[in-house]
């Protein structure tokens, strides 16, 4: 069995690493935050105190980090970067959401070292990661894909090989444009319903029964903001980061995306009003706050309140 290194044990990385451990693999863990690392050790991971230790212990190294700058530093450019000690035959799989330029840079840097690279960003919610039900968008060679497949099958239920290196990251930006923009659309729709004084359950009856329906409204929101749960999940800060990646990548391709730009600015406003650390479904409360409206919530006993 290959030995696995896992760097970045946050809201997503911790359950993902834990699901690999449950599958019987030895997983060597590293995070800059001691409590996150400790949680992974409590779930059966092996503690590493540096990136160099991860590289020394592992055949496949997974990164699940916040943003492009940190991914570049940890894998390629930092004083103790993975690639400064990695050897030919090892494989790095970055599962973070980053810019296409970052993924391309990392892929090229890996080739120079004889290290295989796969980009495999993650779709769906943190709750899916907890249950091993994530969806993965994979970019990489056929050999690289086959090598990481057993690990992806432990962490998720739907796995798509989207193309060569970089195709996973690019597919993720296409997906997240829609998935995140719907939060602002839903926030505006439900704030209007609140302004009209409409009953929430009756409004949802209609929205769930027409083409207005979307995954955020039907799957994510009843368990989160509509049940008054603002704990992230996926933060407004990270959603803003992803929409910024979309807008910048679209600009670099000369693709115009006015809705993405508008949605990104709605998230900018949410951050400036202090909502950045809350779950991205809390865009509903930002919109209601701005318009001095009562934020809609499911009543106790509502058929839409998860059991």
Residues annotated as catalytic (active site), given as ranges: 172
Task: Give the dihedral sign, CA 263/282/70/75.
Answer: negative
User: How far apart are the two ends of the chain, measured CA to CA in Å?
Assistant: 40
Rounded CA separation 184/158 (Å): 27
CA atoms within 13 A on the CB side of 250: 18
Size of residue set near ligand NAD by CB under 6 A: 26
The SS3 assignment for 211 reads: coil
Closest to ligand NAD by CB, 125 or 204: 125
Among 4, 5, 6, 8, binds ligand NAD (CB under 6 A): 8
Quick check: 13 binds ligand NAD (CB under 6 A)?
Answer: yes
Q: How far from 81 is each of 7, 93, 97, CA to CA, in Å?
A: 12, 14, 19
Among 115, 238, 247, 283, binds ligand NAD (CB under 6 A): 238
Rounded CA separation 134/156 (Å): 4
DSSP states of 50-111? SHHHHHHH-SEEEE--SSHHHHHIIIIISTT-HHHH--TT-EEEE-S---HHHHHHHHHHHH
- Residue 232 CB, shortest distance to ligand NAD, in Å, is 7
Quick check: 231 binds ligand NAD (CB under 6 A)?
Answer: no
| 283 Cβ contact list (under 8 Å, min separation 6) | 183, 184, 186, 187, 236, 266, 267, 270, 275
Rounded CA separation 97/103 (Å): 9
Closest to ligand NAD by CB, 31 or 285: 31
| Contacts (CB under 6 A) with ligand NAD, residues 247-306 | none
Closest to ligand NAD by CB, 62 or 266: 62
Quick check: 122 binds ligand NAD (CB under 6 A)?
Answer: yes
Rounded CA separation 3/57 (Å): 7
Among 2, 3, 11, 160, binds ligand NAD (CB under 6 A): 11
Rounded CA separation 142/252 (Å): 28
Closest to ligand NAD by CB, 61 or 126: 126
Closest to ligand NAD by CB, 65 or 207: 65
| Contacts (CB under 6 A) with ligand NAD, residues 57-76 | 64-66, 70, 74
| Contacts (CB under 6 A) with ligand NAD, residues 24-53 | 30-33, 36
Q: Within the chain, how many helices (H) and strands (E) appear? A: 14, 9
Residue nearest to ligand NAD (CB): 10
Q: How many residues does the chain have?
A: 307
Quick check: 12 binds ligand NAD (CB under 6 A)?
Answer: yes
Quick check: 97 binds ligand NAD (CB under 6 A)?
Answer: yes
Other beta carbons less than 10 A from residue 289's beta carbon: 15
- Residue 155 CB, shortest distance to ligand NAD, in Å, is 12
Among 4, 7, 40, 152, binds ligand NAD (CB under 6 A): 7
- Residue 296 CB, shortest distance to ligand NAD, in Å, is 23
Closest to ligand NAD by CB, 36 or 77: 36
Give the interface with ligand NAD as residue ranges (CB under 6 A): 7-13, 30-33, 36, 64-66, 70, 74, 96-97, 122, 125-126, 233-234, 238, 242
């Amino acid at each position: 069995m290959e030995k696995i290194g896992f760097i970045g044990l946050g809201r997503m990385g911790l359950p993902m690493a834990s699901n690999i451990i449950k599958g019987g693999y030895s997983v060597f863990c590293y995070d800059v935050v001691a409590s996150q690392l400790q949680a992974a050790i409590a779930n059966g991971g092996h503690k590493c105190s540096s990136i160099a230790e991860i590289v020394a212990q592992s055949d496949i190294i997974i990164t699940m980090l916040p943003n492009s700058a940190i991914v570049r530093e940890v894998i390629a450019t930092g004083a103790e970067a993975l690639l400064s000690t990695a050897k030919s035959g090892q494989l790095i799989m970055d599962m973070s959401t980053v810019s296409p330029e970052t993924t391309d840079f990392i892929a090229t840097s890996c080739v120079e070292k004889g290290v295989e690279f796969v980009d495999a960003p993650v779709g769906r919610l943190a709750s899916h990661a907890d249950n091993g039900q994530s969806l993965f968008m994979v970019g990489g060679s056929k050999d690289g894909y086959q090598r990481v497949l057993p690990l992806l099958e432990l962490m998720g239920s739907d796995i798509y090989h989207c193309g060569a290196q970089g195709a996973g990251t690019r597919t993720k930006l296409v997906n997240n444009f829609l998935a995140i923009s719907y939060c602002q659309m839903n926030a505006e729709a439900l704030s209007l319903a609140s302004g009209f004084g409409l009953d929430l359950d009756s409004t949802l009856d209609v929205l769930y029964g027409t083409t207005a329906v979307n995954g955020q409204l039907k799957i994510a929101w009843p368990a989160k903001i509509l049940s008054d749960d603002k704990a992230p999940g996926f933060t407004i800060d990270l959603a803003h980061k992803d929409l910024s990646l979309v807008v910048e990548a679209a600009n670099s391709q000369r693709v115009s995306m006015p809705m993405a730009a508008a949605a990104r600015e709605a998230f900018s406003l949410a951050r400036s009003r202090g909502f950045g650390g809350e779950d991205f479904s809390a865009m509903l409360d930002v919109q209601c706050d701005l318009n001095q409206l009562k934020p809609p919530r499911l009543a106790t006993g509502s058929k839409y309140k998860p059991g």
